[in-house]
């Protein structure tokens, strides 16, 4: 008998994938966690029934949440990831020679443990062996309250604004992030689908602009995310993501990226009209 997983992207639209087998299914203190194996997208993690990552297309999300900020900031030594318990963002961060310490603050320790066990291609840098990585199982809000003026770059690798991630889309949280960044710090956060989540985006970018002087959206194509068109928010104290982009450093990077490159960096900030209108001031 065929098994299929279906995620509703709206009340009338969804995505469905055939499942070979379930590798893990369990409930943590915070959420339902499932890891399944699919013939088309490999291993896939679901949190509360929503796709977080798959082995086949995770490189798009993790390239694009990490590399744009790290190639704009001139010297990103201290980097924090809030959320991101699968480890993919940390894996990309530690490839940058300038990074001295990459800290992962994930509220759900079970996500980290099961990612290390079942998603080793994502979690290779959070298994305890990487000298640049520090892991904290903690609430991101509580953590940054205690670490002000500490980070060059903060990546908010959160789930959708439901459950434990609700507070990570609010103005009070962005003010805490602003304080946790050094005087020229950059924050990047996933900012949902321009196609399905216009209201969430409008509120999110309004909240960001109340705190940061520079706020821009950029986009990427992620097949298993709602509509396939996904977006990120770039919020900065000093550096503009296009005008201050170090194209030469990006072009000379000594590691391979499957999605990100120096041309795509610039193109990602060129938004379609409807996405611009979602976040107009």
- Which domains, from first to last, does the chain contain? 3-54 (2.30.140.10), 57-278 (3.40.50.150)
10 Å Cβ neighbour count for 228?
Answer: 15
Annotated binding site: 31, 62, 86, 106, 139-140, 157-160, 164
Catalytic residue IDs: 157
Annotated binding site for S-methyl-5'-thioadenosine: 31, 106, 139-140, 164
Would you give per-residue pLDDT tens digits along the chain (281 residues)? 689 999 999 889 999 999 999 999 999 999 999 999 999 999 999 999 999 999 999 999 999 999 999 999 999 999 999 999 999 999 999 999 999 999 999 999 999 999 999 999 999 999 999 999 999 999 998 999 999 999 999 999 986 655 555 566 688 999 999 999 999 999 999 999 999 989 999 999 999 999 999 999 999 999 999 999 999 999 999 999 999 999 999 999 999 999 999 999 999 999 999 999 999 87
Annotated binding site for spermidine: 62, 86, 157-160
10 Å Cβ neighbour count for 108?
Answer: 19
Residue among 41, 47, 39 nearest 21 (CA): 39
71 SS3 class: helix
């Amino acid at each position: 008998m065929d098994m299929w997983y279906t995620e509703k992207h709206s009340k009338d639209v969804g995505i469905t994938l055939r499942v070979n087998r379930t590798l893990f299914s369990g409930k943590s203190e915070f959420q339902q966690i499932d890891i399944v194996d699919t013939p088309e997208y490999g291993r896939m993690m679901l949190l509360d029934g929503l796709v977080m990552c798959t082995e086949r297309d995770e490189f798009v999300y993790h390239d694009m949440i990490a590399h744009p900020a790290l190639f704009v900031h001139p010297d990103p030594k201290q980097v924090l990831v809030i959320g991101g318990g699968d480890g993919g963002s940390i894996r990309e961060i530690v490839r940058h020679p300038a990074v001295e310490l990459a800290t992962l603050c994930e509220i759900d320790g079970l996500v980290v443990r099961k990612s290390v066990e079942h998603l080793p291609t994502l979690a290779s840098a959070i298994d305890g062996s990487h000298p640049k990585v520090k892991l904290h199982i903690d609430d991101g809000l509580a953590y940054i309250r205690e670490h002000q003026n500490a980070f060059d770059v903060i990546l908010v690798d959160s789930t959708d604004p439901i459950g434990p991630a609700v507070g990570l889309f609010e103005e009070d949280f962005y003010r805490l992030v602003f304080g946790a960044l050094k005087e020229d710090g950059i924050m990047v956060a996933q900012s949902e689908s321009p196609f399905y989540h216009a209201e969430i985006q409008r509120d999110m970018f309004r909240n960001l602009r109340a705190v940061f002087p520079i706020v821009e959206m950029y986009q990427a194509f992620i097949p298993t995310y709602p509509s396939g068109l996904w977006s990120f928010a770039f919020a900065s104290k000093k550096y503009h993501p296009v005008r201050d982009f170090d194209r030469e450093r990006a072009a000379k990077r000594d590691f391979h990226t499957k999605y990100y490159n120096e041309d795509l960096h610039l193109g990602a900030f060129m938004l379609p009209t409807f996405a611009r209108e979602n976040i107009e001031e």
